[in-house]
């Protein structure tokens, strides 16, 4: 499968601070990719570079094989829903659809109208008076109706109530089912991921910590729990992601390619949410070097 977004050594510096650093990704097409990380991790920076709103400081990025926003043709093939779903407040919903039609040569106005009707928006209503969920649906419609190959969304559901969030994700997944487009979706909420994403990128403190297919990640991570053990005694093939100890018991979250044979362990699978949190806190600890809860030395 060809990569929809490919980066090598990508970085962006603002003043002295690096918003993104050493980013090397090859995000495959035909997937719904979740870009997860805490606020300020660099997700928005990465996505803005992918759609051509920001220029990298170093490294390269290619979207659908070309430099971002290389020309009108590429702009047409990539749809973007920005954070907080910006709309023109004084323009009506119908006006936004006309805006889309005027600015995008391959605009599917039938699709746009159907979606607006389905969501229940009044074409005459001003976009400024829409609720957060309705605005998100409008922004999604604008991005989908230009029939992109790749849809990039920056925290589209962060400020929505649970029902609006579910509706939005449902609409997005229906569009994926219908049109087969690739999606890259960033979020600082880990909960919705498992339903929706089949490829995951974890970004913490401006670096990529984890990237891979969800099925492969689940298959290669286990939680091992058993009598108290020194981490050094684990085989080298088992990479420790997270560990916690009491005086009698040790629990490890490991990444390994082979099966776990040691009978002393109780081996349980790791849920996606726990997996992501483990990687996020591992990066955090490395940065802060602070003692973790539960460690009794």
Query: Does residue 209 belong to the site contacting other proteins (CB under 8 A)?
Result: no
Q: What are the CB-based long-range contacts (under 8 Å, 24+) for 51-54?
A: 51/78, 51/80, 51/152, 54/12
Segment interacting with other proteins (CB under 8 A) among 20-28, 35-43, 229-237, 262-270: 262-270
Pairing of strands 207-213, 199-204: antiparallel
Residue 170 contacts other proteins per CB under 8 A: yes
Q: For residues 208 and 20, give the distance between their C-alpha atoms in angstroms, rounded to a whole number.
A: 9
117, 122, 174, 262: residue in contact with other proteins (rule CB under 8 A)? 174
28 scored as a contact of other proteins (CB under 8 A): no
Among 9, 65, 162, 269, binds other proteins (CB under 8 A): 269
Q: 268, 254 in Cβ contact below 8 A?
A: no
Q: Taking CB under 8 A as the criterion, which residues in 56-85 touch other proteins?
A: 69, 71-72, 75-76, 78-80, 82, 84
Distance of CA 119 to the CA centre of its chain: 24
> Judged by CB under 8 A, which of 196, 239, 281, 284 binds other proteins?
196
The sign of the torsion formed by the CA atoms of 198, 202, 208, 209 equals negative
9, 65, 67, 89: which one contacts other proteins (CB under 8 A)? 89
List Cα–Cα distances, 25 to 14, 32, 65, 229, in angstroms: 21, 15, 13, 35
257 touching other proteins, by CB under 8 A: no
- Residue 111 lies near other proteins (rule: CB under 8 A): no
Interface residue with other proteins, options 22, 28, 29, 53 (CB under 8 A): 53
Q: Which of 104, 186, 206, 238 binds other proteins (CB under 8 A)?
A: 104
Confirm or reject binding of residue 177 to other proteins (CB under 8 A): yes
Give how far the C-alpha of residue 266 lies from the chain's centroid of Cα atoms, to the nearest Å.
Answer: 32
55 lies in the site for other proteins, by CB under 8 A? yes
To other proteins, the closest distance from the beta carbon of 166 in angstroms equals 6
Angle value at C-alpha 28, between 22 and 32, nearest 5 degrees:
105
C-alpha torsion angle, residues 251, 253, 257, 259 (rounded to 10):
30
Which is closer to other proteins, CB of 193 or CB of 283? 193
Q: Does position 130 bind other proteins by CB under 8 A?
A: no
The piece of 189-197, 204-212, 242-250, 278-286 that touches other proteins (CB under 8 A) is 189-197
- Shortest gap between Cβ of 277 and other proteins (angstroms)? 14
Among 37, 100, 133, 156, contact with other proteins (rule: CB under 8 A): 100
C-beta of 112: minimal distance to other proteins in Å? 13
CA dist., res. 127 & res. 96, Å (int):
8
C-alpha distance from residue 1 to each of 64, 94, 150 (Å): 12, 38, 14
- Rounded Cα distance between 132 and 279, Å, is 31
d(C-alpha 195, C-alpha 210), whole Å: 19
Q: Which residues bind other proteins (CB under 8 A)?
A: 14, 30-32, 48, 51-55, 69, 71-72, 75-76, 78-80, 82, 84, 86-91, 95, 98-100, 102-106, 139, 142, 146, 166, 169-170, 173-174, 176-178, 191, 194-198, 215, 218-219, 259, 263, 267, 269, 271
């Amino acid at each position: 499968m060809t990569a929809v977004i490919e980066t090598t050594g990508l970085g962006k510096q603002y003043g002295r601070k690096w918003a993104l650093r050493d980013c090397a990704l090859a995000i495959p097409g035909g997937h719904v990719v979740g870009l997860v990380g805490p606020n300020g991790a660099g997700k928005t920076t990465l996505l803005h570079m992918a759609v051509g709103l920001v220029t990298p400081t170093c490294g390269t990025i290619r979207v659908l094989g070309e430099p971002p926003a290389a020309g009108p043709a590429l702009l047409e093939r990539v749809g973007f829903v920005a954070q907080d779903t910006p709309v023109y407040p004084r323009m009506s919903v119908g006006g936004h659809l006309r805006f889309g039609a005027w600015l995008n040569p391959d605009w599917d106005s039938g699709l746009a109208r159907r979606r607006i009707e389905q969501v229940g928006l009044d074409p005459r209503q001003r976009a400024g008076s829409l609720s957060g969920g309705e605005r998100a649906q409008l922004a999604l419609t604008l991005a989908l109706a230009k029939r992109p190959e790749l849809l990039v969304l920056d925290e589209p559901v962060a400020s929505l109530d649970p029902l609006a969030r579910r509706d939005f994700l449902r609409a997005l997944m229906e569009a994926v089912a219908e049109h087969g487009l690739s999606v890259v979706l960033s979020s600082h909420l880990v909960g919705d991921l498992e339903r929706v994403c089949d490829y995951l990128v974890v970004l913490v403190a401006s670096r990529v910590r984890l990237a891979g297919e969800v099925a492969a990640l689940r298959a290669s991570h286990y939680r091992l729990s058993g009598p108290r053990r020194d981490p050094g005694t684990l085989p080298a093939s088992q990479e420790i992601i997270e560990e916690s100890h009491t005086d009698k018991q040790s629990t490890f979250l490991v990444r390994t390619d082979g099966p776990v044979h040691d009978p002393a362990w109780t081996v349980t699978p790791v849920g996606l949410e726990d997996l992501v949190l483990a990687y996020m806190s591992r990066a955090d600890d490395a940065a802060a070097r602070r003692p973790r809860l539960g460690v009794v030395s």
